[in-house]
A and B are shown apart, each in its own frame.
Chain A
Amino acid sequence: MMLIVAAGGFFYVWYVNHEDDNAIVIRYMTWDSARGLEPERRIIERFEQQHPNIKISLEPCPQGYEDRVIVSLAGGKPPDVFLWWNYPRLMELGALEDLKPYLDSDTTISLEDFYPNLVKDIIYKGKVCGLLKDFTPAVLYYNKDLFDAAGIPYPDSDWTWDEFRDIAIQLTHGDTYGFLVDARDIYTLEMWVWSNGGDLMSPDGDTATGYLDSKATIEAIKFYTELYTKYRVSPGLAERASMGGGVNMFITGKLAMFVSGRWPLLQLKRIKGLRFGTVLPPHPKGKQLVTIIYQSAQVMAKESRHKKEAWEFLKAMTDTAAHRIRGEMGWAIPAYPEVVKRLGFDKDPIERPFIQAVKYATKKPIALRTVRWPEIERKIAYGMERIMLLNEDVEKVLKEVAYKIDHGLE
């Protein structure tokens, strides 16, 4: 027994020394899995060839990702570099390394080369939280066959809410629906509200009163929810669940339009016989469209013991070459305008609306403005359920929710 313990001890000591002698191990955790990991593996391979003294330990964790990261941070043994998206929370808790000093002293990478509308989202209170791994704006997908059958011309990228609603009404008949209202997706809801000149929270993310209950916001949410509660152009929760979700309804021709990021795109492209297009979402008449972007970035843990090497790795995961690899494999839109042009994303009719949408993403999502996002999201989502399921008055509900958010009430 003692022998085994002693042997184990010696082995451990040897292992630790060995590790220090030869290579530094950088742990990288990601929620990517399967096909999404392919470009990452290639980028890592490339990095390891260029940096023989650094080994990357790739830790994919598609299930329960956020819990795993939080627990490892709380336990003091976080991965050196990991994928994240709602930075304020971790930044305020002191878990993330501010990358600004690194960027200031390193001339090989510059935030100015990225799309400016993406960069604003990774900066929180003057700190750079991470470097962009990938992103997608929300655009509107439409089923060309359903438009053809109804004799409606395809929408172009400059169309109004009223035109959009009329089309949705015309496309709705029987168990086929014109559009999908996902009222519990508060992140995407912001797009509708912003486009009408409203907002859910103040610019610093602290106050709801005067924003969530403003005239413009009420009007936007009324327009959006009435698509379901009044005009019935959207399936309800039950119907949506029974059809296996919005994307499946779209594939089977039961849904003519839905708003989403780029996630279903690869799946939709693979389906034979499905003719679909993408287009910028509509805007209210006389108002400027504002789009929303979902992004994720590689961040560095403050507790990392090899920050110099972690920074090198972080750069390699987010430089133009890395974005080019992801772009070439069709996995993501590059976050560099230069790479987008080189790969011809702006020429592809399906990809073009995504690229166009970037320049309208002028507002910062609330999730990236404040640490209180989970609470705000939950309270607004509850309000949306009241509007959608109980048919309560939009103005009354939003006033109550704004009050509850500002006074910390449930």
Chain B
Amino acid sequence: MKRPGYWRREALDGYLFILPWLIGLVVFTLGPIIASMVISLHRWPLLKEPSFVGLQNYIKLIHDPLFHQSLKVTFIYAFVSVPLNLSVALGLALLLNQQVKGLSIFRTVFYLPSILPMVAVSVVWMWLYNPKFGLINYLLRKIVGLFGVEFQGLEWLTSPRWALPALILMNVWGVGGSMLILLAGLQNIPRTYYDAAAVDGANAWQKFVKITLPMLSPTLFFLLVVGLIGAMQVFTQSYIMTGGGPLNATLFTVLLLYNHGFRWFNMGYASAIAWVLSVIIMILTAIMLYTSKKWVYYEARR
């Protein structure tokens, strides 16, 4: 039986309930997105009236060596840091899944760093990376010293060669979030699969490759997509720790965007960078979604 009046009322109530969120979306997300699109077509030195320049900002971007450098740095960061983080998170999750004693303590300990604000983490790591008194170089010296070799340690944040690896390594510290999600994923895999495999004589490695990985693939996929999107937008570490240097070795795209917008007053150009970066992220995500059909296994879809 149809009661159009009731349904309309029902729909109206529904919209009323989501209204606060809807207003938030329009005012704080959708509005700025559209605005930045419009701004990217203008030359806008922030305190003066914007003037329309068409696609000039985008054309300039194509030939901008600083932008190229920033893309290179960002891509290296994303493509090394995301797989590295996922592997470490998976390793930790597997370890924690072994019914260890004090699981909740370990879980808390490993998760803790990921709730700390990035600024605080950056400051702490600046000390850890201190070439002379930092804990990391101290350990390196001790380890290399075992082989009887004199070693000064690395100039982590102050050499163009090691600054980016330093930021990538530091990011591993914050894998707690991914680890927790993977751990939940692991605990969702029915024990019966492993029992059946054991009966058939499968060894640990076979179980891992044939059961754990496929069953975990949706979780891994989710983390991969989210991780890559996050990594492409990395900013805080280099803003706090290196300022993009030395020799632009840690000039992430978002840092360049920030510099253009707020340091050098090129709001239009900064918006263009934001849009190019978004398109790149969208393409990457689309590629992953497309290829996911080949390796992500959903139980429901047989």
Name A residues whose Cβ lies closer than 8 Å to a Cβ of B: 67, 70, 73-74, 89-90, 93-95, 236-239, 241-243, 374-375, 382, 385-386, 389-390, 409-410
- Residues 116-144 of chain B: 1 if any A CB is under 8 Å from the residue's CB, otherwise 0? 00000000000000111110000000000
Is B185 an interface position by the 8 A CB rule?
A: no
Chain B, range 74-89, C-beta contacts under 8 Å to A? none
- A237 contact from B46, B47, B155, Cβ within 8 A: B155
Chain B, range 150-200, C-beta contacts under 8 Å to A? 155-160
The segment from B25-33, B240-248, B272-280 found at the interface with A is B240-248
Structural contact, B131 and A74, CB atoms closer than 8 A? no
Interfacial chain B residues near A242, Cβ < 8 Å? 130-134
Is B263 an interface position by the 8 A CB rule?
A: yes
Structural contact, A390 and B247, CB atoms closer than 8 A? yes
Structural contact, B46 and A93, CB atoms closer than 8 A? yes
A237-B155, A239-B131 known; A70 and B245 CB under 8 Å? no
A237-B158, A374-B264, A389-B246 known; A73 and B47 CB under 8 Å? yes
Smallest CB gap from B243: residue in A:
A184
Q: Nearest Cβ in chain A — how far from B119, in angstroms?
A: 11
- C-alpha gap A67/B248 in the complex (Å): 22
Interfacial chain A residues near B132, Cβ < 8 Å? 238-239, 242-243
Structural contact, B46 and A70, CB atoms closer than 8 A? yes
Q: Nearest Cβ in chain A — how far from B290, in angstroms?
A: 35
Structural contact, B131 and A238, CB atoms closer than 8 A? yes
Interfacial chain B residues near A236, Cβ < 8 Å? 155, 158
Is B283 an interface position by the 8 A CB rule?
A: no
Interfacial chain A residues near B159, Cβ < 8 Å? 237-238, 389
Q: Nearest Cβ in chain B — how far from A19, in angstroms?
A: 27
Interfacial chain B residues near A410, Cβ < 8 Å? 64-66
Structural contact, B131 and A385, CB atoms closer than 8 A? no
Q: Nearest Cβ in chain B — how far from A95, in angstroms?
A: 5
Is B45 an interface position by the 8 A CB rule?
A: yes
Chain B, range 232-280, C-beta contacts under 8 Å to A? 245-248, 262-265
Smallest CB gap from B263: residue in A:
A374
Name B residues whose Cβ lies closer than 8 Å to a Cβ of A: 45-48, 64-66, 130-134, 155-160, 245-248, 262-265
Q: Beyond the given A73-B46, A236-B158, could you list 13 further A-B residue pairs with CB under 8 A, ordered by the A residue number?
A: A74-B47, A89-B265, A93-B48, A237-B158, A237-B159, A237-B246, A238-B131, A239-B131, A241-B157, A242-B132, A243-B132, A390-B247, A409-B65
Interfacial chain A residues near B157, Cβ < 8 Å? 241
Q: Nearest Cβ in chain B — how far from A288, in angstroms?
A: 34
Q: Nearest Cβ in chain A — how far from B264, in angstroms?
A: 5
Structural contact, B262 and A67, CB atoms closer than 8 A? yes
Smallest CB gap from A243: residue in B:
B132
Interfacial chain A residues near B133, Cβ < 8 Å? 242
Q: Nearest Cβ in chain B — how far from A93, in angstroms?
A: 4
Interfacial chain A residues near B156, Cβ < 8 Å? 238
Q: Is the interface of B mostly helix, strand, loop or mixed?
A: loop
Structural contact, B158 and A385, CB atoms closer than 8 A? no
Q: Nearest Cβ in chain A — how far from B244, in angstroms?
A: 10
Q: Nearest Cβ in chain A — how far from B139, in angstroms?
A: 15
Interfacial chain A residues near B264, Cβ < 8 Å? 374-375
| A to B CB contacts below 8 Å, 14 in the list | A70-B47, A93-B265, A94-B47, A236-B158, A237-B155, A238-B131, A238-B158, A239-B131, A242-B131, A243-B132, A375-B264, A385-B246, A389-B246, A390-B247
Residue from B47, B130, B155 having most chain A Cβ neighbours under 10 A: B47
Q: Nearest Cβ in chain B — how far from A291, in angstroms?
A: 27
Interfacial chain A residues near B134, Cβ < 8 Å? 242
- C-alpha gap A389/B247 in the complex (Å): 9
Structural contact, B160 and A389, CB atoms closer than 8 A? yes
Interfacial chain A residues near B48, Cβ < 8 Å? 93-94
Interfacial chain B residues near A374, Cβ < 8 Å? 263-264
Q: Nearest Cβ in chain B — how far from A362, in angstroms?
A: 30
Structural contact, A241 and B130, CB atoms closer than 8 A? yes
- C-alpha gap A374/B259 in the complex (Å): 10
- C-alpha gap A93/B160 in the complex (Å): 36
Smallest CB gap from A404: residue in B:
B65
Q: Nearest Cβ in chain B — how far from A409, in angstroms?
A: 8
Residue from A94, A236, A389 having most chain B Cβ neighbours under 10 A: A389
- C-alpha gap A382/B159 in the complex (Å): 14
Structural contact, B47 and A386, CB atoms closer than 8 A? no
Smallest CB gap from B155: residue in A:
A238
- C-alpha gap A74/B44 in the complex (Å): 11
Q: Nearest Cβ in chain B — how far from A302, in angstroms?
A: 10
- C-alpha gap A67/B261 in the complex (Å): 10
- C-alpha gap A301/B195 in the complex (Å): 76
- C-alpha gap A67/B259 in the complex (Å): 11
- C-alpha gap A386/B246 in the complex (Å): 9
- A382 contact from B131, B158, B247, B265, Cβ within 8 A: B247
Smallest CB gap from A385: residue in B:
B247
Interfacial chain B residues near A70, Cβ < 8 Å? 46-47, 262, 265
Q: Nearest Cβ in chain B — how far from A185, in angstroms?
A: 13
Q: Nearest Cβ in chain A — how far from B177, in angstroms?
A: 28
Interfacial chain A residues near B66, Cβ < 8 Å? 410
- C-alpha gap A94/B45 in the complex (Å): 11
- C-alpha gap A250/B159 in the complex (Å): 23
Q: Nearest Cβ in chain A — how far from B178, in angstroms?
A: 31
Structural contact, A90 and B65, CB atoms closer than 8 A? no
Interfacial chain B residues near A385, Cβ < 8 Å? 245-247
- C-alpha gap A93/B49 in the complex (Å): 10
- C-alpha gap A375/B46 in the complex (Å): 16
- C-alpha gap A67/B265 in the complex (Å): 11
Q: Nearest Cβ in chain B — how far from A256, in angstroms?
A: 19
Smallest CB gap from B65: residue in A:
A410
Structural contact, A90 and B47, CB atoms closer than 8 A? yes
Structural contact, B246 and A241, CB atoms closer than 8 A? no
Q: Nearest Cβ in chain B — how far from A187, in angstroms?
A: 15
- C-alpha gap A67/B264 in the complex (Å): 11
- C-alpha gap A59/B131 in the complex (Å): 39
- A93 contact from B45, B130, B246, Cβ within 8 A: B45
User: Which 7 residue pairs across A and B have the least CB separation, nearest first?
Assistant: A242-B132, A93-B47, A238-B155, A237-B158, A238-B158, A238-B131, A242-B131
- C-alpha gap A386/B248 in the complex (Å): 11
Interfacial chain A residues near B65, Cβ < 8 Å? 409-410
